Amino acid sequence: MALDLIIRNARLSSAGPDNPAVDIGVRGGTIVAVEPNLAGDGPEHDARGKLVSPGLIESHFHLDKAMIIDRVPMQPDRMVRDHMKRTASIKHTFTAEDIYARAEATIEQCVLHGVTHMRTQVEVDPNVGLLGFEVIEQLRKDYAWAIDIQPCVFLQEGWTDVPGADENLVHCLNRGAPVVGGGIRYDKDGPGQIRRVFELAQHYDIDVDFHLDGGHDVKNPDYPQVCEITDRIRWQGRVAFGHGSRFSCMPVKEQAAVGKRLGESGVSLAVLPATDLFNGGRHMEHSVMRGVTDANTLIEHGANCTISTNNVLNPFTPYGDCSLTRIANLYANVVQRYGPKDLGVCFEMITDRAAKVMRLGDYGIEVGKAADLVVWNEELPSDVIAKCALPLAGFKRGRRIFLRELPTLQRPR
């Protein structure tokens, strides 16, 4: 059998520690065989018995405002929560070339860390208009060889009371944006925004991805309204939201109820540990709360959850190397989860569980699925999270898109 690629000696993420390594055969960008000692001819990549997983997925990202931290005024005081305002203050300086260059550099770093799919939030507030949307559309085409980018258009700085905001968003949906988002923290009428998002989702038959239930106030959470509308219009499996940091301030019994409710409605949560750790607890001078929800608990009670980077080098998160395994490790460390089982779930949250949110039908290591693959220097998915592992090689539809050499120690002779 003539093949375009054979990955030899691959340990699959679904396999237990004693399962034998397999070979993965690829033709025309698709996996056509997964079996030991595959008989076939073609270019080979030896995984040396180490883990091969599907590509990583950033389920909640902001490409358009990445890498701006050097242009934004410094925060005057740790206890001031002004990251949105400081970001907004420089948005008038954004140009198409500028957004393209920053987002391109960010995408390349994500790809080098094993990411083959991304849902990126795209702001279309009147102060940037359609600039970000058009640039992301261009990048989506230019980087299709390495990554599938799914834009989610939304209004960061308010919607229901902002002249021109709704028109911008509708314009993007008319041009084919596949997901509509929401950011209700800065809207005068949060529930009104939620209703409008679902109205558009139904009209355009598209998926929904909000920013909800951030902060630490556990009174009047946003998710019940979202679940109620999701159930009513039968949008189960098509609705996600990011943050949910409030849930970390609830007793575990109440967190379990949240997990159960989200699971029943098919509403997913993306936990964003870097951003929530950086911004949470600013009202506390000492013994600062963490504000990162234990997604493992919500999953145990029926919800689907993911872990994602969200922001890179901007006032929302002034750090970032675009390593999703580092973010998952940060999450596990903060919520005090470890070991093969719990860290295995963390790995699912940056692979299979995120694929469910993006409704990727051709994702996974199975015959007939897209050959979007990552080779690790580890044996188990939990090791990847525990060690913030860096991938050794990545493949997009069977074509190798990066290689990483292991460092070697230079011992004295």
Min dist. Cβ of residue 273 to Zn ion (A): 13
Q: Which is nearer to Zn ion, 24 or 103 (CB)?
A: 103
For residues 389 and 383, the answer to whether their CB atoms sit within 8 Å is yes
The structure tokens listed for 191 are: 């529930």
CA distance 367 to 24: 9
Closest distance of CB 119 from Zn ion, Å = 10
Nearest distance in Å: CB 62, Zn ion = 5
DSSP E strand stretches across 88-224: 115-123, 148-154, 179-183, 207-212
Q: What number of other Cβ atoms are within 10 A of residue 368's Cβ?
A: 9
Q: Name the residue nearer to Zn ion (CB basis): 139 or 274.
A: 274
Closer of 190 and 242 to Zn ion (Cβ): 242
Within 240-299, the residues that bind Zn ion by CB under 5 A are 242
Q: Count residues contacting Zn ion (CB under 5 A)?
A: 2
Q: Take residue 234 and report the two structure tokens written for it.
A: 């039968």
We find the least distance from the C-beta atom of residue 270 to Zn ion, in angstroms, to be 8
Half-sphere exposure of 352 (CA within 13 A, CB side): 12
Q: Toward Zn ion, which CB reaches closer, 21 or 272?
A: 272
* Cα 201 from Cα 180, distance rounded (Å): 7
- Residue 232 CB neighbours (<10 A): 10
Nearer to Zn ion by Cβ, of 25 and 183: the residue is 183
Report the nearest approach of Zn ion to the CB of residue 76 (Å).
24
Q: Closest separation between CB of residue 332 and Zn ion, Å?
A: 21
314 backbone dihedrals φ, ψ, rounded to 5° = -145, 175
x-marked contacts with Zn ion along 207-246 as a string, rule CB under 5 A: -----------------------------------x----
310 or 325, CB closer to Zn ion? 310
Q: Which of 64, 66, 182 is nearest to 132 (CA)?
A: 64
Nearest Cα residue to 63 out of 6, 12, 120: 120
CB of 30 to Zn ion, least distance (A): 33
Distance between CA atoms of residues 354 and 250, nearest Å: 25
User: For Zn ion, what does the binding mask look like between residues 299 and 328, x meaning CB under 5 A?
Assistant: -----------x------------------
Rounded CA-CA distance 316/87 in Å is 8
Q: How far is the CB of 181 from Zn ion (least distance, A)?
A: 8
Q: Shortest approach of Zn ion to residue 291 CB, angstroms?
A: 15
Going by C-beta distance under 8 Å and a sequence separation of 6 or more, which residues neighbour residue 168?
124, 125, 126, 129, 130, 155
Selection from 327, 403, 406, 311 nearest residue 111 by Cα: 403
Pick between residue 275 and residue 351 the one whose CB is nearest to Zn ion.
Answer: 275
Which CB sits closer to Zn ion, 30 or 109?
109
Nearest to 335 by CA among 389, 370, 291: 291
Q: Which is nearer to Zn ion, 242 or 381 (CB)?
A: 242
Q: Which residues bind Zn ion (CB under 5 A)?
A: 242, 310
